[in-house]
Chain A
């Protein structure tokens, strides 16, 4: 499937599949790498870019 790796000026990266347009702080990505990957490869790519999970334990809803 068509996969886009979007790189933004601020250093953030987004990986998209399908017809999604992403903007960060109202601006388009400065780099767009287009790949043709199968779903497993997309998942592997995403796992390689995960952040440390956020802790919500002290949050009160």
Chain B
């Protein structure tokens, strides 16, 4: 094949900088998501299949002790992390409080009462507090009062399940 590159032409006598010569390889539909990262501020679609938008936070734990007449307030929160600090999230907290230092169903205090926990030993209130709600935060509180249990250990475990369109945008539990 002839070489015309010294005068700026291809072997077919096309200019070296022509769009035809520099065209990109054809991309198949199935390759699209692996070859392109598309960014736009608005998408209109009649149907979208979005996956991987539900995440689990790390598990948070607390251990300690309290005695009759004392109360413990546990506050678990889910917070966006940089660079998405102003991103809202939709989240559900999962919580469990146990008497002792081991997560055993028989010794669960909240939200279930285990078979080894005497009725009346504890008083508990919990929920999302509208009083401090700022429209974006995800905070869940448990107020636990030791009514007649004596000196006991406590174990608290919490984890958030949340929806976000930015992976890894939240921390907490």
What residues make up the interface of A, taking CB atoms closer than 8 Å to B?
A: 1, 6, 10, 12-26, 42, 46-47, 49-51, 53-54, 56, 59-61
Distance between Cα atoms of A17 and B152 in the complex (Å): 20
Distance between Cα atoms of A53 and B160 in the complex (Å): 30
Q: Which of A6, A20, A24 has the most CB of B within 10 A?
A: A20
Determine the residue in chain B with the shortest Cβ distance to A46. B63
Other than the known A19-B57, A20-B75, what 8 A-B pairs have Cβ atoms closer than 8 Å? A12-B70, A15-B62, A16-B62, A23-B72, A26-B71, A51-B65, A53-B100, A56-B116
Residues of B within 8 Å of A22, CB to CB, are 62, 64, 72-75
Chain B contact residues (Cβ within 8 angstroms of A): what range?
Answer: 35 or more
B151 and A51 contacting across the interface, CB-CB below 8 Å: yes
A54 and B149 contacting across the interface, CB-CB below 8 Å: yes
A59 and B118 contacting across the interface, CB-CB below 8 Å: yes
Residues of A within 8 Å of B150, CB to CB, are 54
Main secondary structure of the interface of B (DSSP, over half): strand
Q: Which of B23-31, B76-84, B161-169 forms part of the interface with chain A?
A: B76-84
Please give the distance in Å from A20's CB to the nearest CB on chain B.
Answer: 5
A13 and B117 contacting across the interface, CB-CB below 8 Å: no
Q: How many A-B residue contacts, CB cutoff 8 Å?
A: 105
Please give the distance in Å from A5's CB to the nearest CB on chain B.
Answer: 10
B61 and A59 contacting across the interface, CB-CB below 8 Å: no
Distance between Cα atoms of A7 and B83 in the complex (Å): 33
Distance between Cα atoms of A4 and B81 in the complex (Å): 20
A24 and B62 contacting across the interface, CB-CB below 8 Å: no
B60 and A18 contacting across the interface, CB-CB below 8 Å: yes
